[in-house]
Structure 1
Amino acid sequence: MATLEKIRSKGGVFVAIFIGLALAAFILTDLMSSGPSIFSGNQTEVLNINGKSIGINEFQNKISEMEEFNKLNTGATGLTEEETYSLREQIKEMFISQALLEERYEQLGIAVTSEEVLDMVTGRNIHPAIYQHPLFADPGTGIFDPQRVMSFLQNKNVDPTAYFYWMVMEEQLINEKLFIKYGNLLKKGMYMPTALKNQEIAARSKSVDFDFVGVRLSTVADSLITVSEKEVKDYYNKNKKYFKREATRDIEYITFAIEPTDADRTAALEWVNKLIGDFSSPEVDPIQFVNLNSDIQYIGRNQRLAEFSSQVQDFILSAKVGDVFGPYFEDNAYKASRLVAINNMPDSARARHILIRETTLDATNALADSLMDLIRKGADFADLARRYSQDPGSAINGGDLGWFTEGMMVPEFNDAVFKGKTGDLVKTQTQYGIHIINIQQQGPATPKYNLATLVREIHYSSETYQDVYRQAARFAADNNTPEKFNQAIEEGKLVKRYGRSIRENDNYVGGFTSARELVRWAFETNVGSMSPVFEFDDQFVIANLVNAAEEGYASVNEVSPQITAYLKQQKKAELLAAQIEAKLASGASFETIAADYNTEVETVNGLSFSDIQVPGAGVEPALVSAAVNTPAGQISKPVKGNNGVYVLKVNNVETVEVSEDLLNTEFAQNTLMTVDYQLIRALRNDAEIKDRRARFY
């Protein structure tokens, strides 16, 4: 139990470091079994990756394990529906990556030895997830202590919670190491051929000045271009792989918002009126009263007059301490405010500090007192901050925190700075340790006001909820066909909304979160069906399924408009290129071509091969390539680009020195990035993956 409490109290930061590492990399292996589930089969199969079946029991066990791991780290009792959906997505990716990578590891003989694991947790190459884990830090200094790792490992076998926690951590470390080894093999096997390197150097060694004329494809009227049905079919057949799609659904829907009524607002107002008498009593502690009764707890800040709304400002200007204002309406709530204090305080301050955190509180105070004595005797504050402060962010600047306003720091620190005066050297304790604070500067003192505010937020009542539901249910019953549905929307001038290209495992539809019920309905019903009444995000929803596209290839008819538009653009480019080439052959100048197409001659200076955009043309790699490779003084052939057709003349070529070492470094960096970010994607592209989670979730 002691270990469990330590994990819960200290593991929060670790979640961000370690879970992020494991889940983002998609390399978590199966903690329970690396083989196929004995329950796998058509009815219980959740995933199938290249023939390897993952059953519902195996998949759900993984979810349960990671939920438990999250509870140990955060102390949370469970996950929200949205968090659970996200976890299912991540675990799906884990299983896919596991299946794809394990085969490669086995083929190549990649493994991680126990000695390597020990080195990552207690050796010379400690993994950041271990080194930065609060569980393995000295409680007094916050510094990593390898002895605490050893102690944890020695005791984990007698504590089931610690054993489970370590097994998860160890598997992450092992699998990250495997992934790195595999990636490094690929990276070391990649190189830039000499011919390609020389070609790249030659291209980069030029900086060109040139003139060009660009003729936009849009200048050719669509009516001048004809694309035949055969051309569309031929293109489709040659490029069919690009039209592969997931199963999707399209819906139309309307919503009935569950919003507070006038009666709900009146109830909130009556609640404040009922309590305002007690709240106004001089015998009542206003802060305690607010914390016991209000929907929003006491803030405890001294605020400038301008920070309050105009109606509260009017009250403050004529009020004395103890006066109460309200009820008043603000921020969708009814409120009553009591003036607790009026203080003259600076609005901002500049301070520096030294944060001390030793193994015990007595030792921390002793060191802090010693340093304060040295400072009073003339020691340099900034030098001591650099040497002793446990706040690395400010220590490097001599402890300087710069200017900050009230409320930015934790309360104890804030009060020490804003209740003190310029030049004070004070000591205060916060959750982070003992602070030695030097107040360097304070802004001019201005009146500030401390208010305790009783708040009753306006929410809809159960009666309102039931009334809106009855409206939605009546609409659904009366309009149970698409024809009636649309007619009622038109007659009632309701707002019809659309959900397009919904995928089988989606969790979001339109602006709704956690809309799995609606998604599952859309995939289990037929086109033309009307949905039951769903509830999402304080809204009731009624939907109509208008289209269903199954997994496979989109038909040629479905993608014909897309293909036709693309082929028209290609034909426009060919037409313009032929026209411009004919004009050049007849001796037309740049100016003549520009005038013929109602455009201008553009001039570009200092363009190199590494440039992405061309001024006056946009992102046109073909134009960049043509400019760099066209000899000086020569007019190019027409260049077909993304947005238009171009013809250019290079006026000047400058030689630019290109560092081969720099090119090698750039290639190495690009290789690292490519392998790290594209490895799993490349494996997935060649894999056959069947995702059947929608059967179960």
Structure 2
Amino acid sequence: MSVLSTIREKSTLLLIIIGGALVAFILGDVLSSGERLFSSNSNNIGEIAGQTISAQEFEQRLQKMEENYRLNTGSSSIDESTRESLRQQAWNQALNEIIMEEEYRGVGIKVTSQELYELVAGSDPHPTVQRAFSDPSSGTFDKNRVLSFLKTMDEDPSGATKIRWIEFERGIKQERMNEKYNDLIKKGLYIPTKLAHHEYLAKQKNASLQYVVKRYSEITDSEITFNEDDLKKYHKEHQKEFDQEKSRKIEFVVFDVVPSKEDLAKAEKAIMELKDDFAASIDDSSFIKMYSDGGLQIEVLGENQLPAELVELFHAEKGSIKGPYKEEQSFKIAKVVDQVFVPDSVRARHILIPVQEGNTEAALAKADSLKKLIKGGKKFAEMAEKHSEDFGSAAKGGDLEWFTEGTMVKPFNDAVFYGKKGDMPIVVSQFGVHLIEITGRSTENKRVKFAFIEKNIEAGPNTFQDYYIAASEFANKNKSLEAFDKAVSEKGLNKRIADNIKPGDRMIAGVEQSRELVRWAFKEKQGSISKPFEFEDKFIVASLVEVREEGVASLDQVKEQVEKAVIKEKKAEKLMQELNTALASSNSIEEVATKVNAKSESADNINFSSFSIPGIGREPKIVGTAFGIQKDVISSPVKGETGVFVIKVTAINSPAEITDYSEHKNKLSSNLTNRVGYEAFEALKENAKVTDNRYKFY
């Protein structure tokens, strides 16, 4: 692979990585999509650290990205998936420049020209530079290749080579500044011995408990009474529990467009018009490619593999045809192309050669060289052991033993089942390049080779129009949530629900390419009914059931959740009162259990860091209490997750005291340093108070 090709492929991967979450590499633009950013009432894409990002500025970023994307890939078009990726990269770049570059300036981080030179042409250059400018024969980095490239890149009259290199250097520079910033934070981390000691005890210290639990399930919900003030009080005192992101809930009905009888007749007529020409065709592959909706379909089938419509063709002459017959959503005609004899199973061995960096030609060349060596007298088994990347079979000289048809991927399968014993075909699959030797073939059986032409049964314009009218009538007649639900019930329609829709979601679950429906949900008011949306072969009418804005959810939005919590608290109050009464006249856990009609139970090996009790489940408050009271002391009632507990610690198993905590310090330090990049950026982003309005534009 040429140096320029390697740089072109690698340069897009080098722009800032913040904790694996922020990737800002230079790609392309979405201007070619025909979308305009200024269609929104607001002209701002967002705000970062008080700095407004205008739609015009964002579009300029995208335009620059598109130029580089086209240079790097040679692509003249951008599909919607790539387009969305580019938008995300543009936003990440803005986040990085405004948030991180300000940080770099604040702490004095920079990359000098000399540093950049060392990263490109020094004794220990950036890994991507090393790969791009290595000697092909030895794999050793060659500094002179870098210098030669830099001297000659201006010779490209288009200027594309220099633009790519500048972006490549920019990526290296930003990556280096990020490394310096993260290293600054890492160097400031310190693990005190006391903390290491605490973590050591938390993981090694165990306790045994005796306890009584009165479960919340012992009291039915109907026994609990509460009022609106109880709900308001709980909601006010537990607002952190109800923090929410901006989201929407919609309900919708789908009008699936089903081909009509007229559409079915049209498809059948279209394939009938091809029947005589298909029968007379002498080049079936070309005929199928030109006229069939199903692409090239040529299959070799055994008698037991044939659908009922084709059974009679198994013993028919070459050129015989059958059809049209209906198969799922299409009409087909089958033609007998040939008769072949295929074994039930074969035995083969192979050498798998991986395709490195997309260079299939190099892998094919190596396979061809190995084939010549084997033909010249080298043993296949030895070559497989030495060169094959399929290590399982390589250990057996490449032998795959006996296998039936369909066991291997299609290129491999076809090569061995339709070849001859002793053949050594070379094929390409998704796993790489295979040099194969067919070593055995079982008894052969007759198969028939069929060619198929196909015409899809598709809804025509008139059918789409009929369904659009039906969907429009439904939307126009049912303008409220109540009317919507009533109509759904009366018409026996299947109402679907999509909840927790986020502004950046690209689709609704189960509905492909439904971004416009997401955008509608964030533009309209609660209670709105949509116009019909067309998505491929369906129309959708939606109702906007709930609007949730960022912040604390209102009581109405989380009322069911609050009610459950209030009921649980009131149950806890009753159970705590019952247990306190029992405790007042008891001297042991057993007495408490008897008085509250419960059992005295035990649990061993409770660990502070696990938060759970065997047989009970997650109970952090109970575990915390166990390590906070004295041994053999009966606790006060403790409100847990599953019920109210009274506990007594019957044994504490403390680990041996140690004086050297270096191993524990290193583990804690490693855990913290691994999170530095991500958590530092997330903290900075939160402090920057980022507002992202992209959902209003795309």
Per the normalisation by structure 2, the TM-score is 0.79
Distance 2:134 2:599 in 1: 68
- 1:644 equivalenced with 2:643 (yes/no): yes
Q: Does the residue aligned with 1:542 lie in a helix, a strand or coil?
A: strand
Residue identity matched to 2:197? N
Distance 1:433 1:578 in 2: 71
Distance 1:343 1:216 in 2: 72
Give the drift of 1:464.
1.5
What is aligned with 2:451?
452
Distance 1:90 1:83 in 2: 10
Residue identity matched to 2:201? A
Q: How does 1:459-608 map to 2 (within 5 A)?
A: 459-480=458-479, 485-500=484-499, 502-509=501-508, 511-550=510-549, 553-556=552-555, 558-559=557-558, 561-587=560-586, 602-608=601-607
Query: Structure 1 residues 648, 485: closer, same or farther in 2, change over 3 A?
Result: closer
Distance 1:442 1:608 in 2: 62
Residue identity matched to 2:203? R
Residue identity matched to 1:273? M
Contact 2:247–2:549 (CA under 8 A) maintained in structure 1: yes
Deviations 1:307-350 (A, max 9, x none): x4642673465445544333233242222233433322354645
Q: Does the residue aligned with 1:426 lie in a helix, a strand or coil?
A: coil
What is aligned with 1:345?
343
Query: Structure 1 residues 360, 257: closer, same or farther in 2, change over 3 A?
Result: closer
Contact 2:16–2:25 (CA under 8 A) maintained in structure 1: no
What is aligned with 1:373?
376
Give the drift of 1:488.
3.9
Give the drift of 1:109.
1.6
Q: Does the residue aligned with 1:175 lie in a helix, a strand or coil?
A: helix
Percentage of matched positions with identical amino acids: 31
Deviations 1:536-571 (A, max 9, x none): 243223344455455554445555554454344344
Query: Structure 1 residues 490, 670: closer, same or farther in 2, change over 3 A?
Result: same
Residue identity matched to 1:327? P
Distance 1:141 1:459 in 2: 58
Contact 2:427–2:433 (CA under 8 A) maintained in structure 1: yes
Residue identity matched to 1:533? P
Give the drift of 1:496.
3.6
Residue identity matched to 1:187? K
Distance 1:528 1:562 in 2: 22
Give the drift of 1:351.
2.0
Q: How does 1:282-431 map to 2 (within 5 A)?
A: 284-298=282-296, 302=300, 308=305, 310-311=307-308, 314-315=311-312, 317-319=314-316, 321-339=318-336, 340-347=338-345, 349-353=347-351, 355=353, 365=368, 368-370=371-373, 372-376=375-379, 381-382=381-382, 384-385=383-384, 387-388=386-387, 391=389, 397=395, 400=398, 402=400, 413-419=412-418, 424=422, 426=424, 428=426, 430=428
Q: Does the residue aligned with 1:566 lie in a helix, a strand or coil?
A: helix
Query: Structure 1 residues 75, 458: closer, same or farther in 2, change over 3 A?
Result: farther
Give the drift of 1:460.
1.5
Give the drift of 1:144.
8.8
Q: How does 1:152-167 map to 2 (within 5 A)?
A: 153-157=150-154, 158=156, 159-167=158-166
Query: Structure 1 residues 502, 435: closer, same or farther in 2, change over 3 A?
Result: closer
What is aligned with 2:683?
682
Query: Structure 1 residues 513, 141: closer, same or farther in 2, change over 3 A?
Result: farther
Q: Does the residue aligned with 1:375 lie in a helix, a strand or coil?
A: coil
Contact 2:46–2:52 (CA under 8 A) maintained in structure 1: yes
Query: Structure 1 residues 497, 445: closer, same or farther in 2, change over 3 A?
Result: same
User: Which deviates more, 11-20 or 237-246?
Assistant: 11-20
Q: Does the residue aligned with 2:296 lie in a helix, a strand or coil?
A: coil
Contact 1:50–1:687 (CA under 8 A) maintained in structure 2: yes
Query: Structure 1 residues 11, 420: closer, same or farther in 2, change over 3 A?
Result: farther
Q: How does 1:628-667 map to 2 (within 5 A)?
A: 635-650=634-649, 653-654=652-653, 660-667=661-668
Q: Does the residue aligned with 1:531 lie in a helix, a strand or coil?
A: coil
Q: How does 1:15-414 map to 2 (within 5 A)?
A: 25-28=21-24, 44-71=43-70, 76-118=75-117, 120=119, 127=126, 153-157=150-154, 158=156, 159-222=158-221, 233=232, 236-237=235-236, 240=239, 243=242, 245=244, 248-281=247-280, 284-298=282-296, 302=300, 308=305, 310-311=307-308, 314-315=311-312, 317-319=314-316, 321-339=318-336, 340-347=338-345, 349-353=347-351, 355=353, 365=368, 368-370=371-373, 372-376=375-379, 381-382=381-382, 384-385=383-384, 387-388=386-387, 391=389, 397=395, 400=398, 402=400, 413-414=412-413
How many residues in Structure 1 have an aligned counterpart in Structure 2? 676
Residue identity matched to 1:341? Q
Give the drift of 1:479.
4.5
Contact 1:210–1:651 (CA under 8 A) maintained in structure 2: yes
Q: Does the residue aligned with 1:351 lie in a helix, a strand or coil?
A: strand
Give the drift of 1:235.
5.2
Distance 1:31 1:414 in 2: 39
Distance 1:399 1:20 in 2: 45
Q: Does the residue aligned with 2:339 lie in a helix, a strand or coil?
A: strand
Contact 2:351–2:394 (CA under 8 A) maintained in structure 1: no
User: Which deviates more, 88-97 or 582-591?
Assistant: 582-591
Give the drift of 1:71.
4.7
Distance 1:303 1:617 in 2: 58
Residue identity matched to 2:174? N
Distance 1:648 1:542 in 2: 57
Distance 2:320 2:41 in 1: 72
Give the drift of 1:374.
4.7
Distance 1:333 1:186 in 2: 63
Query: Structure 1 residues 42, 519: closer, same or farther in 2, change over 3 A?
Result: closer
Distance 2:435 2:529 in 1: 68
Give the drift of 1:667.
1.4
Deviations 1:92-136 (A, max 9, x none): 344224322222211112223445445555556565656677xx7
Contact 2:348–2:440 (CA under 8 A) maintained in structure 1: yes
Residue identity matched to 1:369? K
Query: Structure 1 residues 320, 42: closer, same or farther in 2, change over 3 A?
Result: closer
Give the drift of 1:618.
1.6
Give the drift of 1:210.
4.4
Distance 2:119 2:297 in 1: 45
Distance 1:31 1:362 in 2: 33
Contact 2:340–2:448 (CA under 8 A) maintained in structure 1: yes
Contact 1:3–1:161 (CA under 8 A) maintained in structure 2: no
Contact 1:206–1:628 (CA under 8 A) maintained in structure 2: no
Distance 1:636 1:305 in 2: 78
User: Which deviates more, 321-330 or 627-636?
Assistant: 627-636
5+ residue gaps, structure 1, are 33-38
Give the drift of 1:49.
0.8
Distance 1:109 1:372 in 2: 65
Give the drift of 1:400.
3.7
What is aligned with 2:35?
none
Contact 2:293–2:455 (CA under 8 A) maintained in structure 1: yes
Q: Does the residue aligned with 1:173 lie in a helix, a strand or coil?
A: helix
Query: Structure 1 residues 235, 54: closer, same or farther in 2, change over 3 A?
Result: same
Distance 2:82 2:364 in 1: 39
Residue identity matched to 1:353? I
CA RMSD of aligned residues (A): 4.7
